[in-house]
Amino acid sequence: MVKTVIINADDYGLTSAVSKGIREAFLNGILTSTTAMATGLTLEADMPLLFKECPAIGVGAHLTLTTLKPVLNPKQIPSLVNEHGHFNQLGDLIALADQINEEELYAEWKAQIDKLLTLGLELDHLDSHHSAGIISPKTISVMIRLAGEYGLPVRKPQSSHQNKAMDAFAIAELDKHGIPYPKHFNGDFSDNKGTLESLTTILTELKTGTTEIMSHPGYVDADLENISSMVAPRITELNSLCSAEAKQLVIDQHLQLATFAEVLKG
């Protein structure tokens, strides 16, 4: 039975060092896909490099609702920002989830998608930074609305917020609206768990069908240290994805590496 693997790197455009690491993981490793942040600090400068160096990589939209600044003027989306006009930190966002204005969220996330399209990307899926897309029925509804509008598959809901009931609700809603997603999702290769040992375990225990493995490879720069709690683990993930052992394991396990577009975008 065929085992197909999408290995996606979140956060393209967050900083130049992160973007460089993602390109490296694709060019010299087993990475197949990335999701770009319209709110990233260096997105505009990083996109031409992605087009030039990695034309075959799959690219999705990494919809953002935490940290950083929104694409729209903060005055247009008051329910999504703090007093400084920035997105809230994750904990605050979850606490304030009921106060989100759904139309404001739709407008901001649509603006993020449209910004990426304007830069020349052919998007092949949607997911969200810090799993913000599945923190509440409102965010799930907007994610589904946009996925349907743009004809895009999404990441299978399995958040890091330990809210299995919300994950199940999101999956039921995706099925109800006919939004495709990979059969399996693995988030175990991330945040201090991106070792070669961890990657080996994940790849050898894959189930039949399509699995997305979430990753965060990257190099480190001052920008990253200032805005992210995930710093050094990105280098560990990068080294694991580029290792000779990982490449050989893909061959030995007869795995098919793929992008979202190749298996889901119809």
- Whether 162 has a pLDDT exceeding 70, the answer reads no
Taking only the tens place, the pLDDT of each residue in 177-213 is 999 999 999 999 986 789 999 999 999 999 999 999 9
Taking only the tens place, the pLDDT of each residue in 62-80 is 999 998 999 999 999 999 9
- Whether 2 has a pLDDT exceeding 60, the answer reads yes
Distance (Å, whole) CA 88 – CA 82? 6
- Please report the pLDDT score of residue 150 as a whole number: 97
- Please report the pLDDT score of residue 54 as a whole number: 97
Q: For 25-48, b where at least 16 C-beta lie within 10 A, e where not — what string? A: bbeebbbbbbbbbbbbbbbeebbe
- Whether 229 has a pLDDT exceeding 90, the answer reads no
Structure token digits, residue 206: 């894959």
- The tally of domains found in the chain comes to 1
- Please report the pLDDT score of residue 13 as a whole number: 98
- Whether 266 has a pLDDT exceeding 90, the answer reads no
Q: Are 134 and 124 in contact (CB under 8 A)?
A: no
Q: Which residue has the tokens 């919300």?
A: 166
Structure token digits, residue 122: 């052919």
Residue span of the structural domain in which 116 resides: 3-263
Q: How many residues does the chain have?
A: 266
Taking only the tens place, the pLDDT of each residue in 86-142 is 999 999 999 999 999 999 999 999 999 999 999 999 999 999 999 999 999 999 999
- Please report the pLDDT score of residue 67 as a whole number: 80
Q: What is the CATH number of the domain that holds 122?
A: 3.20.20.370
For the chain, give the mean pLDDT.
94
Stated pTM of the model: 0.96
Q: Please indicate whether residue 229 or residue 137 has the higher confidence score (pLDDT).
A: 137
Average pLDDT over residues 216-227: 94
